Structure 1
Amino acid sequence: MIWELVYKIFVDVLTIWKPYTFSSPVEVLNTLIGLIKDNTLFIAIITSLKRLVIGYVISILIGVAIGLIIVKYKYIDENLSPLILGFQTIPSVCWIPFAILWYGINENTILFVTVIGSIFSIAISTESGIKNVNPIYIKAAKTMGAGGRKLYFDVIIPAAMPQIVSGMKQGWSFAWRALMAGEMLSGTKGLGQVLMAGRDLGDISQVMAVMIVIVAFGLVFDKLLFGKIEQNVRYKCGLENKN
């Protein structure tokens, strides 16, 4: 309702905005229905989700491994942590020229950008989560005979899981952004390509329709996947009551 009211005031009444620069919700809905009917949206969603899942799984494996290595070795921690933090501040779109030069314009390019977009946030969260484990847990475990790998995998990592999961959740959002950037600039199939097609055709309704789809998927995954995982982990750690 607010969207339609803004459209009526600024486009129809005051004529400050042009219809081709700001679309009404009815026009966006019609465009969305059109994209669904010709299977354009379905194909784009399947393609993007496939890339996202593969890239995200790879970024989790590498990111968690990097975080564990940083915590394990002090020398690596002192020299690699600032570098990773610096890489995290680089926008994902900056990696696209490297990806195109290394892999060409293909699936590997988009996959690389997706992985590089989320890997550093996961590594930083893993490192931070382990470093911030309550020392009392470690001391108590040692007094009961735990040590080495048993201490690490049975006490430290489970205690750090709430922050690690939060990092994975953040990494998912970064992976989404990186994926869209890769698809928009590489011109391959996917939601990013449909978004760019709308821009090239001057169809603001299509641009806004794809943006709504991206937001919707982000909310769905946050509530149905990460929300449940985060709640379960926090409950097991005694940080939240089970509803």
Structure 2
Amino acid sequence: MAHDVRTSGSALDREMAGLDALELGGGGAPRRALQRAWSAIWPMGAAALIGLLAWQIVVWSGWKEPWVLPGPKDTLPVFKDQVTSSRFWEAAALTMRRAVVGFAVAVAIGVLVGAMVSQSRILRRAFGSLITGLQTMPSIAWFPLAILLFQLSESAILFVVVLGAAPSIANGLIAGVDYTPPILLRAGKVMGLRGVNLYRHLIMPASLPSFVAGLKQGWAFAWRSLMAGELLVIIGDTTSLGVLLSQARELNNTADMISYMIVILVIGIVIDQLFGVVDRSIRTRWGLDQD
């Protein structure tokens, strides 16, 4: 009798194991990871192919002479040569250093301003519209003032990058705080959270999705401001992506110019994907990701 029970129990265990394997699709976590990677990669690859095809069709149409607008066949080899040269990597390193420093300063200022304005009605009435106005102001409009204040220097570029990014970051934090459910605030106060602890342990986590959106938008403004700055503010013999782009334009070297534009686009896409990873992790943690 006991032998029959053990036999039926082991058979049941085998059947359950088979069902688990069937539910996991046989591959488990590695297969799901590959599926997610493929689902993320193929749309971008398809979009790149469509873009190249559209570019080639424009060239075939004869709208511009080949020396003015070369096609992918003439540009991609130049792109390969550029990204394998040491001069390019030195320029890219300088550009990314400026971007990281400027964005870090903008995050610090944006968080400080957003935190103060979101917690004070007087400051909100005084500076809320001003922050939005600064956010909508074209970054290139700041460069005459920046050059007047700092001359042709790194500080002039940093000044415009910070002014371009900080308002978006501050507005993202303010929006997140505004949409924090009142019931959470009341629960936090009942639990004894006050002042900095309330902000740190409740308001900031609750406003994280809007804050990340503000960071993403702030980076977009910072990157655009930096590219405009490097085209306008050329410092001595320093070489950046903006300088290389400007030199290619002055020499009417369209293939080089398009190559640098592709690099700038790719960097923007990579940073956007990094923000996407952060956003998906937040959605997963909050139980909003249904994949």
TM-score by length of 2: 0.77
CA distance in 2, matches of 1:157, 1:125: 11
Q: Residue in 1 aligned with 2:114?
A: 67
Q: Residue in 2 aligned with 1:136?
A: 183
Secondary structure of 1:209's match? helix
Secondary structure of 1:19's match? coil
Q: Residue in 1 aligned with 2:83?
A: 36
Structure 1 runs not aligned, ≥5 long? none
1:5 Cα deviation after fit? 5.0
Secondary structure of 2:207's match? helix
TM-score by length of 1: 0.91
Q: Residue in 2 aligned with 1:221?
A: 271
1:23 Cα deviation after fit? 1.8
Secondary structure of 1:22's match? coil
1:10 Cα deviation after fit? 4.5
Asked if 1 retains the 8 angstrom alpha-carbon contact of 2:283 and 2:289, the reply is yes
Q: Residue in 2 aligned with 1:231?
A: 280
Asked if 2 retains the 8 angstrom alpha-carbon contact of 1:67 and 1:124, the reply is yes
CA distance in 2, matches of 1:106, 1:62: 21
CA spacing shift, 1:77–1:194, aligned 2, 3 Å: same
1:7 Cα deviation after fit? 5.6
Match of 1:191 among 241, 244, 265: 241
Asked if 1 retains the 8 angstrom alpha-carbon contact of 2:82 and 2:259, the reply is no
Structure 2 runs not aligned, ≥5 long? 1-48
CA distance in 1, matches of 2:176, 2:283: 13
> Deviations along 1:127-177, whole A, 9 cap, x unmatched?
111111111111122223322222221111110011101110111111110
CA spacing shift, 1:10–1:59, aligned 2, 3 Å: closer
Letter aligned with residue 130 of structure 2 = L
CA spacing shift, 1:86–1:10, aligned 2, 3 Å: closer
Q: Residue in 2 aligned with 1:159?
A: 206
Identity of aligned residues (%): 35
Aligned residues: 240
CA distance in 1, matches of 2:177, 2:56: 53
Q: Residue in 1 aligned with 2:260?
A: 210
> Deviations along 1:59-94, whole A, 9 cap, x unmatched?
000001100010121111001010111111111111
CA distance in 2, matches of 1:113, 1:168: 17
1:2 Cα deviation after fit? 4.9
Asked if 1 retains the 8 angstrom alpha-carbon contact of 2:114 and 2:174, the reply is yes
| Bigger Rg, which one | 2
1:234 Cα deviation after fit? 2.8
CA distance in 1, matches of 2:153, 2:124: 35
Q: Residue in 2 aligned with 1:53?
A: 100
Q: Residue in 2 aligned with 1:150?
A: 197
